[in-house]
């Protein structure tokens, strides 16, 4: 086994069975993805449209690409045909563009709504209240080519475990509210994606069922 395969296997053995793993391969070469693929990993995360477009065609077709980065509306038409899910929907406008592009190619696109749960001003995403307003508007109910499957968020970049935990609790409270108010009849609205290399054990304790991990598998990224 290669070091990447060893780290992936060690991680998988620590994750509870109900927690899905997205192996975040951004900035890592296709060979690194292949090594994970050989051990059975199928969910990979990419954050840049160009990189996804370069990697996907040379890698196995049954990889389920998860788009995790900030997505501009003019890039949506390139991402929709490749990705099986977009985890970073942070505006109604973006959701509408995904619907349009998915309809154009007759695809149903899985999406997560990205929540901004920190006090940091820079991170993207809906605040929980903005997201509630968007859901209340009901516009999304007309969209037959997007399927809202849950919530994604990132915690504050800090060593303070209490802050991280509190961010995740904000996310799960929002998830539970949306589930009750808008998705009680939708079994698909079930994904709670939080947790990265530095905070995934806390995330799993705080209700995550889809962690997104790069560094712990592939090592540090070279930007």
Ligand X SMILES: *Cc1c(COP(=O)(O)O)cnc(C)c1O
Nearer Cβ to ligand X (143/149): 149
Question: Which residue's Cβ has the minimum distance to ligand X?
Answer: 214
**Candidate list 35, 47, 101, 118; residue touching ligand X; CB under 6 A:** 47
Nearer Cβ to ligand X (51/198): 198
Interaction of residue 110 with ligand X, rule CB under 6 A: no
Q: Are 83 and 60 in contact (CB under 8 A)?
A: no
CA–CA gap between residue 77 and residue 5 (Å, rounded): 33
In 3-state terms the chain splits into helix, strand, coil percentages (rounded to 5) of 45, 20, 40
Instruction: Give the range of 131-139, 143-151, 176-184, 190-198 binding ligand X by CB under 6 A.
Output: 190-198
Interaction of residue 43 with ligand X, rule CB under 6 A: no
Interaction of residue 14 with ligand X, rule CB under 6 A: no
Interaction of residue 24 with ligand X, rule CB under 6 A: yes
DSSP string, 39-72: TT--EEEE--HHHHHHHGGGS-TT-EEEE-S---
**Candidate list 158, 197, 207, 209; residue touching ligand X; CB under 6 A:** 197
CA–CA gap between residue 72 and residue 211 (Å, rounded): 24
Interaction of residue 89 with ligand X, rule CB under 6 A: no
Nearer Cβ to ligand X (98/112): 112
For residue 193, the minimal CB distance to ligand X (Å) is: 8
Closest CA to 113 of 128, 101, 103: 128
Q: Are 117 and 151 in contact (CB under 8 A)?
A: no
DSSP string, 75-93: GHHHHTTT-SEEEEE-SHH
Would you tell me which residues interact with ligand X (CB under 6 A)?
24, 26, 47, 68-69, 154, 196-198, 212-216
């Amino acid at each position: 086994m290669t070091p990447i395969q060893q780290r992936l296997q060690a991680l998988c053995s620590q994750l509870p069975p109900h927690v899905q793993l997205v192996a975040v391969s951004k900035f890592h070469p296709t060979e690194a993805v292949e090594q994970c693929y050989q051990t059975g990993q199928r969910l990979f995360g990419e954050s840049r449209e160009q990189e996804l477009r370069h990697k996907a065609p040379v890698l196995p077709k049954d990889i389920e690409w998860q788009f995790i980065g900030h997505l501009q509306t003019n890039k949506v038409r390139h991402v929709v045909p490749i990705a099986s899910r977009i985890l970073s929907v942070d505006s109604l406008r973006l959701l509408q563009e995904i619907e349009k592009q998915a309809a154009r190619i007759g695809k149903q696109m899985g999406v997560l709504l990205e929540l901004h749960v920190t006090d940091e001003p820079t991170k993207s995403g809906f605040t929980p209240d903005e997201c509630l307003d968007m859901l209340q508007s009901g516009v999304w109910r007309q969209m037959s080519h997007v399927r809202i499957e849950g919530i994604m968020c990132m915690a504050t970049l800090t060593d303070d475990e209490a802050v991280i935990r509190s961010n995740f609790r904000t996310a799960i409270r929002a998830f539970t509210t949306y589930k009750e108010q808008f998705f009680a009849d939708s079994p698909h609205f079930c994904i709670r994606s939080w947790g990265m290399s530095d905070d995934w054990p806390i995330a799993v304790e705080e209700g995550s069922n889809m962690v997104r991990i790069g560094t712990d598998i592939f090592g540090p990224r070279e930007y």
